[in-house]
C-alpha cells in the first residue's frame, strides 16, 4: 500500500471483513426501486451506527428539556393526539458513493444505493417546541437516540444537534409513521426526527430526548463525525444538506456474478430519479458515451417539495457495442453534478455522475 494514503483510508477496491459486517447490516436500496415514487419499506436503505434498540412503546417517553420554560414528558399516545402531517421525503446517507473514492475512506462501503423516499407521518417539531417554551438565548436543539455504541474511541448515545433556526423550519417532523404504518424497528420505532433536504445522519432514530442548548453541542457526531476535512487535524466544516444528484435504473439485464449489464439494440426508456437539498431539479441530462456528449431527459414534477423527481430518457442505441450510460442533474440554484468525485476523509457527499457500462447486442 502506498505511503501517501491518508489515515482511515484504503486503496480502492478490496473491502475488509469488518466493512463486510457493516455492509451486511446496512443494506442499500436496489437501484431498480428508483421506479417507485415511494420506496417500499423493506427496500429503503438502512444505516445503523450501533444496534437497533428494542423499545417498549408503553413505557417509552419523549422528554423535552434544557433551555425551555416548561419541560415536557410525552407518551406515544400524547404525540398521536396532536395535529399530524404526512409528506414524501427523500433521504440519502452522506456516505453514499464512499466506496467509489480513491483512496477509499474505511467505513460503511456504500456504492450508490444509500437513498430512498418514505411517506413520513408525525407532528411538526416547531409546534411542540413552542409548547415547551423556547428559552431566550437557546441556539441549538439536541436530539438523543436510545442506541449506544463506541465511535472514535468515545462511548456515546447517537446524538446530533441542529441550529435552532433549522430545527424550527415548518417542514421538520417528529415521525411515528412510515408509508402508512408504524415506524419499523430498523427505521427508528417509536419516534424519529425527519429534517427534509438534509443528509440522513440528521434524522435521529429511536428518539428519547430533545434538549434546547444555549451553547453549540460539541459531541462526536457534530464535532468529529460528519465534517468535511482532508486532514485529520483540520476542524473541517459541517455536512448539512444533500448535494444535487441523479441516479438511473440500470438498463437491460445483469450478469449474476459481476452485475455487468446487457441490453438489446432497440429503442428503450431509461428512467431514474433526481433530488437536491438546495431546491428543485432544473434539468437532467443523459450520455451514452461516458459523458462526451449529453442530451436532455424529461423531468417530472415531484410528489411533494421534499421528494425526488422522476425523469425519463428515450435511448436508441445505434449499433451493437459497448456503451457507458451516465446521468447528471442540475438544481434550481445552478448546482450540477461533477464528472469526478469530490474527495474528503469521511467520504461524504460524493455526488459524481453515475456510470453504467452496458454491452448492447
Ligand atoms: N439513533 C440513530 N439515528 C440515526 C442513525 C443511527 O445510527 N442512530 N443513523 C443515521 C444515518 S447515518 C442515516 S443515513 C439515517 C438512515 O435512516 P434509515 O436507516 O431510516 O434509512 O439515520 C440516521 N439516524
Ligand atoms: Mo448516513
* Residue pLDDT tens, the chain, 361 long: 445 778 889 988 788 999 999 999 999 999 999 999 999 999 999 999 999 999 999 999 999 999 999 999 999 999 999 999 999 999 999 999 999 999 999 999 999 999 999 999 999 999 999 999 999 999 999 999 999 999 999 999 999 999 999 999 999 999 999 999 999 999 999 999 999 999 999 999 999 999 999 999 999 999 999 999 999 999 999 999 999 999 999 999 999 999 999 999 999 999 999 999 999 999 999 999 999 999 999 999 999 999 999 999 999 998 999 999 999 999 999 999 999 999 999 999 999 999 999 999 9
> What pLDDT is recorded for position 2?
45
Residue of the nearest CA to atom 2 in ligand 1? 205
pTM of the model: 0.97
**Distance from residue 45's CA to the centre of ligand 1 (Å):** 10
- Grid cell 437516540 is found at 145
Number of H helices, E strands in the chain: 5, 24
**Distance from residue 108's CA to the centre of ligand 2 (Å):** 9
**Distance from residue 169's CA to the centre of ligand 1 (Å):** 20
Nearest ligand 1 atom, CA 26: 19
Q: Looking at the CA of 47, which ligand is closest?
A: 1
Residue of the nearest CA to atom 16 in ligand 1? 47
**CB burial class (10 A; 0-12, 13-18, 19+) of residue 11?**
exposed
Q: How far is CA 207 from the centre of its chain?
A: 18
Nearest ligand 1 atom, CA 44: 21
| Sequence ranges of the domains in the chain | 9-238, 245-360
Q: What is the CA radius of gyration of the chain?
A: 21
- Residue from 251, 244, 232 nearest 313 by CA: 251
CA dihedral sign of residues 296, 301, 306, 312: negative
Residue of the nearest CA to atom 15 in ligand 1? 200
Q: Looking at the CA of 28, which ligand is closest?
A: 1
Class at the top of the CATH hierarchy for domain 9-238: alpha beta
Those residues whose beta carbon sits under 5 angstroms from the ion ligand 2 are: 47, 93, 200-201
Q: Would you state the cell numbers that stand for residue 230, as one nine-digit string?
A: 482532508
Q: Would you state the cell numbers that stand for residue 227, as one nine-digit string?
A: 465534517
Q: How many residues does the chain have?
A: 361
Q: Which fold has domain 245-360?
A: Immunoglobulin-like (2.60.40)
Cα–Cα distance for residue pair 145/159, rounded to 1 Å: 6
Structural contact between residues 251 and 358, judged by C-beta atoms closer than 8 angstroms: yes
Q: Would you state the cell numbers that stand for residue 239, as one nine-digit string?
A: 455536512
Structural contact between residues 341 and 352, judged by C-beta atoms closer than 8 angstroms: yes
- Residue from 5, 51, 9, 7 nearest 26 by CA: 51
> What pLDDT is recorded for position 45?
98
Pocket of ligand 1 (CB under 6 A): 44-49, 91, 93, 145, 147, 158, 187, 200-201, 203-206
Structural contact between residues 140 and 165, judged by C-beta atoms closer than 8 angstroms: no
**Distance from residue 287's CA to the centre of ligand 1 (Å):** 33
- Residue from 19, 39, 36, 210 nearest 123 by CA: 210
> H-helix or E-strand containing 271?
strand 268-275
**Distance from residue 19's CA to the centre of ligand 2 (Å):** 15
By most ligand atoms within 8 Å of CB, the mutation choice from 33, 195, 201 for ligand 1 is 201
How many C-beta atoms surround the C-beta of residue 7 within 10 A? 8
Amino acid at each position: 500500500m502506498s505511503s501517501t494514503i491518508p489515515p482511515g483510508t484504503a486503496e480502492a477496491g478490496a473491502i475488509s471483513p469488518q466493512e463486510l459486517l457493516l455492509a451486511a447490516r446496512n443494506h442499500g436500496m436496489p437501484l431498480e426501486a428508483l421506479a417507485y415514487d415511494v420506496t417500499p419499506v423493506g427496500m429503503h436503505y438502512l444505516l445503523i451506527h450501533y444496534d437497533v434498540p428494542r423499545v417498549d412503546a408503553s413505557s417509552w417517553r419523549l422528554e423535552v428539556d434544557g433551555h425551555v420554560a416548561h419541560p415536557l414528558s410525552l407518551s406515544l399516545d400524547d404525540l398521536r393526539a396532536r395535529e399530524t402531517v404526512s409528506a414524501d421525503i427523500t433521504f440519502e446517507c452522506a456516505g453514499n458513493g464512499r466506496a467509489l473514492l480513491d483512496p477509499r475512506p474505511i467505513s460503511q462501503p456504500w456504492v450508490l444505493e444509500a437513498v430512498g423516499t418514505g411517506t413520513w407521518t408525525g407532528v411538526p417539531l416547531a409546534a411542540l417546541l413552542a409548547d415547551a417554551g423556547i428559552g431566550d438565548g437557546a441556539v441549538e436543539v439536541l436530539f438523543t437516540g436510545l442506541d449506544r455504541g463506541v465511535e472514535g474511541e468515545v462511548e456515546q448515545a447517537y446524538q446530533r444537534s441542529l441550529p435552532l433556526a433549522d430545527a424550527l423550519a415548518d417542514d421538520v417532523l417528529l415521525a411515528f409513521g412510515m408509508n402508512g404504518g408504524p415506524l419499523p424497528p430498523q427505521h427508528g420505532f417509536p419516534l424519529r426526527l425527519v429534517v427534509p433536504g438534509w443528509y440522513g445522519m440528521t434524522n435521529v432514530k429511536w428518539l428519547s430526548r430533545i434538549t434546547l442548548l444555549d451553547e453549540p453541542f460539541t459531541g462526536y457526531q457534530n464535532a468529529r463525525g460528519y465534517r468535511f476535512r482532508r486532514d485529520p487535524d483540520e476542524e473541517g466544516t459541517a455536512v448539512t444538506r444533500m448535494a444535487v444528484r441523479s441516479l438511473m435504473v440500470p438498463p437491460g439485464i445483469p450478469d449474476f456474478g459481476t452485475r455487468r449489464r446487457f441490453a438489446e439494440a432497440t429503442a428503450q426508456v431509461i428512467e431514474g430519479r433526481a433530488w437536491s437539498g438546495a431546491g428543485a431539479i432544473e434539468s437532467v441530462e443523459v450520455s451514452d458515451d461516458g459523458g462526451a456528449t449529453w442530451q436532455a431527459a424529461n423531468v417530472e414534477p415531484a410528489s411533494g417539495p421534499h421528494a425526488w423527481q422522476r425523469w425519463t430518457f428515450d435511448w436508441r442505441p445505434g449499433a451493437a457495442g459497448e456503451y457507458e450510460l451516465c446521468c447528471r442533474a442540475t438544481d434550481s440554484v445552478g448546482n450540477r453534478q461533477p464528472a469526478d468525485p469530490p474527495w474528503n476523509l469521511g467520504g461524504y457527499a460524493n455526488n459524481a455522475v453515475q456510470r453504467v457500462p452496458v454491452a448492447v447486442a
